[in-house]
Amino acid sequence: MRKKIIKTSGAPGAIGPYSQAVEAGGTLYISGQIPMDPETGKIVEGGIREQTERVLKNIKIILSSAGYRKRDVVKSTCLLDDMNNFQEMNEVYGAFYSEEPPARAAYEVSKLPAGVKIEIETIAVKG
């Protein structure tokens, strides 16, 4: 099985030794996305709602650049800096995945890159 590195300027570039996404065997693995605006390179202002919206936009752009759609997403892992933000994050997430939502896990972690409130990693399978 051969892997294909996915890279798009429409989403934030990798800031370390990893790829935005890797496709292998009809499955797309998207690295954890943070709420960085790819045009400015800055973290979006606002709270958990605004940050979750930006993360999901970044994911959608990577999905599209690799030839996938939201409905191809089978698993998300949401990392939150504060589980008290879960309900607001969940409302934004639920609106994004309004049909056939993927499986999901959500965890509170002690710290995320650049002091963000949320990071989401995603797995999609062409169906």
pLDDT, tens digit, for every residue of 68-93? 999 999 999 999 999 999 999 999 99
* CATH number (domain holding residue 83): 3.30.1330.40
pLDDT digits (tens, 9 = 90+) for 17-60: 999 999 999 999 999 999 999 999 999 999 999 999 999 999 99
- pLDDT (0 to 100) of residue 68: 97
Question: What was the pLDDT predicted at 16?
Answer: 83
Strand spans (E) along 1-127: 3-6, 21-24, 27-33, 73-80, 103-108, 118-125
pTM of the model: 0.95
Q: Assess contact for 103 and 124: CB atoms under 8 A.
A: no
What domain range is 13 assigned to?
A: 3-125
What domain count does the chain have? 1
